[in-house]
Amino acid sequence: MIALFKYPIVKPYLPDITKYQSYIEDIYKRCWLTNNGPLVQLLQQRLAEYLRVDNLLLVCNGTVALQVAYKALEIEGNVITTPFSFAASASSLCWQGLTPKFIDIDATSLNISMSNVDQKLLRQSSAILGVHVFGNPCNVDEIDNIANQNGLKVVYDAAHAFGSNVSGQSVLRYGDASTLSLHATKLFHCIEGGAIIFKRKNDLERAKHLINFGFDEKQRPQSVGINAKMSEVHAAMGLAVLDDIESILDKRKELTNLYHSLLEGVVELQVWHSKGKNNGAYMPILFSDEAQLITVRDILANKGIQTRRYFYPCLSQVEAYGENGETPVASCISSRVLCLPLYTDLLPADVRYICDSLIKAL
């Protein structure tokens, strides 16, 4: 797929191969391949330090990170969430036997909007699942307030929010738990991987058992667990990528800033949280309507520029997730949003070419 396009939508970051190899050679010498090995422990510690968070637990992927978070926090029944996200935020709820209750989003931040939330729905729900869409922090103070007033737990799907801050602090510090995806296409990755950041240490301790079949210290099941462990080989990739994270973030921010300066006033752009800065995770743009989007997408594809309708369809219209909730803003945004290529190998000249092609296509 990727090879067909001169400018793919994403290109995974690969660190120096000799560094990765030396980690792999160490794994061979130890013959400790998984089950909370030394590289997983090291990556866990280094990530917590880098992100300045406590209670961070590495797991096998970002979807299971969400599922383990719900289970550790003992969330039940209805969960209020956004329909404008990747499938995994809703499917993870359904898979855990929870019911997603979709409410609408804000048309500028593209995040869940609590401004018109129904009081009855708040009373009938046990939690809010917010998503920091494209890395843009949700209105975390408002969500916290509403959750506190109504006795709701808060989980943030922070799959896009690596390196994203609010008032100079990691956005991962908000909520009872926040989860990361460390998938190959994400800004920071372990090929496949995920992490959960808990507010409270006792939730972290419970989750440590849950991700290892629910075993206690004597290897006896004390709860219904799952296998959500990260392997040493995946942690090795994470450690090698983490060494380069500052240059990855700088490069992505530089490209995002250039995109924004060239596309300002041409298409609609996501409005970022006033107390944070774009982390350069994605480059979404909004067209005036779906017909325009499709025309431009096809013209760009013919020029070797891959784009992605991310997120489409709107999750409140997916039958498998219960199809509940009228979310006109999210439906409209879903039909008009397109993400443009963004990865560290992309050059400023490439961004100029892509924007130039886009402007001509309009």
Ligand X SMILES: *Cc1c(COP(=O)(O)O)cnc(C)c1O
Q: Which of 194, 225, 276, 325 binds ligand X (CB under 6 A)?
A: 194
> For residues 83 and 355, which CB has a smaller minimum distance to ligand X in the complex?
83
Q: Which residues pair with 227 in a beta bridge?
A: 212
111 binds ligand X (CB under 6 A): no
131 binds ligand X (CB under 6 A): yes
From 48-56, 82-90, 99-107, 211-219, give the range in contact with ligand X by CB under 6 A.
Answer: 82-90
> For residues 183 and 251, which CB has a smaller minimum distance to ligand X in the complex?
183
Tell me how crowded residue 120 is: count the other CB atoms within 10 A of its CB: 8
> For residues 226 and 262, which CB has a smaller minimum distance to ligand X in the complex?
226
d(CA 192, CA 195): 11
d(CA 211, CA 44): 15
88 binds ligand X (CB under 6 A): yes
List the interface residues with ligand X, window 157-186 (CB under 6 A).
Answer: 157, 159-160, 181, 183
Which residue number places its CB atom closest to ligand X? 62
DSSP symbols for 283-332: -EEE-SSHHHHHHHHHHHHHTTB--B-TT-S-GGG-GGGT--S--HHHHH
Alpha helices (H) in the chain, listed in sequence order = 17-30, 38-51, 62-72, 87-95, 119-123, 140-150, 201-210, 232-242, 245-263, 290-302, 328-336, 348-361
89 binds ligand X (CB under 6 A): yes
> For residues 157 and 357, which CB has a smaller minimum distance to ligand X in the complex?
157
CB of 158 to ligand X, least distance (A): 8
Q: Which of 85, 136, 231, 270 binds ligand X (CB under 6 A)?
A: 85
106 binds ligand X (CB under 6 A): no
CB of 182 to ligand X, least distance (A): 6
CB of 84 to ligand X, least distance (A): 10
Q: By CB under 6 A, how many residues form the interface with ligand X?
A: 14
62 binds ligand X (CB under 6 A): yes
Q: Which of 63, 109, 111, 307 binds ligand X (CB under 6 A)?
A: 63
Residue 150: φ, ψ to 5°: -110, 10
CB of 95 to ligand X, least distance (A): 12
316 binds ligand X (CB under 6 A): no
DSSP letter at 112 equals B
Tokens of 99: 């019911």
Non-local CB neighbours of 116 within 8 Å, separated by 6+ positions: 103, 104
d(CA 165, CA 100): 27
Interacting residue ranges for ligand X, rule: CB under 6 A: 61-63, 85-86, 88-89, 131, 157, 159-160, 181, 183, 194
